[in-house]
Amino acid sequence: MIGALSTTALQACIEACNRCMQACEECLTACLHEPDVHDRTKCVQTLRDCGDICALASRYMSRTSEYSKQICGLCANICDACAKHCEMFKDEHCQKCAEMCRKCAEECRKMVA
């Protein structure tokens, strides 16, 4: 369980996870249409992982699961990895996704603290 965190902090993290999941899905779809798609294989794989863990973290927090902290910790790590991969590409969708991933990682770390 998240514990004594305020409802506002919890909601901020849920919303950050949902926004990040959406950004990852949009970025993944856009990357698949880029001419250098073969150079983006690792990025695309990480985008899938990131979108999935963000959705999972949002669900766990929404039901105040006792495992939320662990899921949020993993989510923060995967978001950081995804941001790093996306930052290597200068497309607008990759840069937007990297920004959303960084924000999500920050909010998830607040849940773990």
**Model confidence over 41-79: pLDDT tens digits?**
999 999 999 999 999 999 999 999 999 999 999 999 999
Q: Using CA atoms, how far apart are residues 72 and 103, in angstroms rounded to an integer?
A: 13
Cα 48 to the center of its chain, rounded Å: 10
Average pLDDT over residues 88-107: 97
Average pLDDT over residues 22-49: 97
Q: Which among 38, 24, 39, 19 is positioned nearest to 94, based on CA atoms?
A: 24
Average pLDDT over residues 36-40: 95
Mean pLDDT of the chain: 94
